[in-house]
């Protein structure tokens, strides 16, 4: 007998408001639909009413987890319109903050995934490491969530030798914890039973729907903006594009754990070869010449795209924000079909959704 089982828009196993409607036969999900739009704040409209510095501060509040990604991508897009070259040291500082943010985001997701699976002890260990990363971000920027590290033309804050040493010690500790976490996640039978073969998104479906970021790489698609179209000096760093072939929730767990090692590697390289010189071009409210440009950044959840149109004033005429969750959310119905209702919360969470970004 068929039933319709609603999940959300508010549900204990969901990070943010989204509504999934499951069409089931007993415990088996035969089909599913996803509904969005519960979190709209009108940020793109507000951006047309504020100057570029005010807009830079505002877009950082699109999301609390990938806030630096939004500020960095908006700034890079405006800088491209103006023909401004960010000083090399400023580019490195942006990369350092971006990779610390990726570590923070991946650890947050791993904690939530472990909680849904039922490993609450490991969830607490994961979030204890997340606290260390947030402490490092606070030491670097003064803030634990919205860092305010980006300004038009570079970075707002420099890094001191003491901060480099403290963050490097934190990375050493995090790396050891990540090794133990990876060993557990890759070999624990309970994790395997809850994740292997669950929520499969084949390579063909991922390409057809247009998945990005860890969601795509977990379906054996080798895409990463940092290597495919390098920006902010990412071409200077040696790191791997992590891809895994099993296309299920387990694959998404593996991808995010292994990417933590790559982020640590990038930050260490940036610290060891941090260029000398200015970090920005001076703080002022600029007038941007008329133009339009689209720029991309590999945010923790995948490709983040900003298109900015300017009209020769200190305000932008249009800001269009295209976030990775908007690309990955359509994969949810495909992943849900053929699975148990009990796994629905974990499958939805496996894309690491940010509906604040999507509904902005």
Q: What is the pLDDT of residue 13?
A: 59
| Residue 283: band (very low, low, confident or very high) from pLDDT cuts 50, 70, 90 | low
pLDDT at position 108 over 70: yes
16 lies in a domain?
A: no
Quick: pLDDT tens for 308-320: 999 989 899 999 9
1 lies in a domain?
A: no
| Residue 12: band (very low, low, confident or very high) from pLDDT cuts 50, 70, 90 | low
10 Cβ partners below 8 Å, 6+ apart?
A: 17
| Higher-scoring residue by pLDDT: 176, 38 | 176
296 lies in a domain?
A: yes
Query: 278: which 2 tokens?
Result: 């200015």
Greatest pairwise CA separation for the chain in angstroms: 69
In 3D, which of 302, 354, 348 has the Cα closest to residue 201?
Answer: 348
Mean pLDDT of the chain: 91
Q: What is the pLDDT of residue 273?
A: 94
Q: Tell me the residue length of the chain.
A: 360
208 lies in a domain?
A: yes
22 lies in a domain?
A: no
Between CA 8 and CA 225 the distance in angstroms is 32
pLDDT at position 279 over 80: yes
Coil vs helix vs strand at 37:
coil
Please give the tally of structural domains in the chain: 1
Helix (H) or strand (E) holding 299: strand 291-299
Query: 306: which 2 tokens?
Result: 């900003």
99 lies in a domain?
A: yes
Between CA 60 and CA 79 the distance in angstroms is 17
20 lies in a domain?
A: no
Quick: pLDDT tens for 229-267: 999 999 999 999 999 999 999 999 999 999 999 999 999
Q: Domain limits at 205?
A: 45-330+342-359
Q: Give the CATH number for residue 149.
A: 1.10.645.10
27 lies in a domain?
A: no
Q: Which residues of 267-302 are buried (b: 16+ CB within 10 A; e: fewer)?
A: bbbbbeebbeebbbbeeeebebeebbbebbbbbbbb
């Amino acid at each position: 007998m068929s039933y319709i089982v609603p999940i959300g828009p508010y549900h204990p196993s969901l990070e943010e408001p989204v509504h999934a409607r499951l069409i089931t036969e007993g415990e088996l999900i035969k089909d599913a639909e996803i509904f969005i739009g519960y979190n709209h704040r009108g940020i793109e409209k507000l951006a047309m009413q504020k100057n570029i510095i005010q807009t830079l501060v505002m877009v950082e509040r699109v999301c609390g987890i990938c806030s630096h990604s939004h500020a960095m991508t908006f700034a890079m897009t405006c800088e491209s319109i103006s023909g401004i070259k960010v000083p090399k040291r400023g580019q490195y500082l942006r990369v350092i903050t971006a990779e610390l943010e990726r570590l923070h985001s991946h650890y947050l997701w791993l904690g939530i995934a472990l909680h849904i699976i039922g490993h609450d002890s490991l969830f607490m260990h994961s979030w204890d490491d997340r606290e260390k990363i947030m402490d490092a971000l606070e030491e670097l920027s003064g803030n634990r969530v919205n860092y305010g590290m980006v300004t038009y033309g570079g970075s707002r804050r420099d890094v001191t030798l003491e901060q480099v040493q403290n963050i490097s010690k934190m990375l050493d500790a995090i790396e050891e914890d990540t090794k133990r976490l990876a060993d557990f996640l890759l070999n624990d039978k309970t994790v395997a039973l809850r994740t292997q073969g669950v929520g499969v998104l084949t390579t063909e479906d991922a390409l057809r729907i247009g998945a990005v970021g860890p969601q795509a790489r977990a379906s054996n698609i080798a895409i990463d903006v940092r290597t495919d179209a390098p920006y902010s000096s990412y071409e200077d760093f040696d790191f791997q594009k992590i891809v895994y072939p099993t296309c299920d929730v387990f694959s998404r767990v593996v991808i995010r754990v292994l990417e933590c090692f790559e982020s640590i590697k990038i930050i260490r390289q940036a610290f060891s070869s941090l260029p000398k010189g200015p970090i920005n071009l001076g703080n002022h409210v600029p007038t941007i010449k008329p133009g339009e440009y689209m720029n991309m950044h590999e945010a923790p959840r995948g490709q983040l795209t900003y298109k900015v149109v300017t009209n020769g004033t200190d305000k932008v005429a249009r800001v269009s924000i295209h976030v990775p969750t908007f690309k990955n959310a359509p994969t949810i119905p495909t992943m849900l079909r053929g699975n148990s209702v009990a796994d629905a919360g974990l499958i939805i969470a496996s894309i690491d959704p940010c509906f604040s970004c999507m509904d902005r």
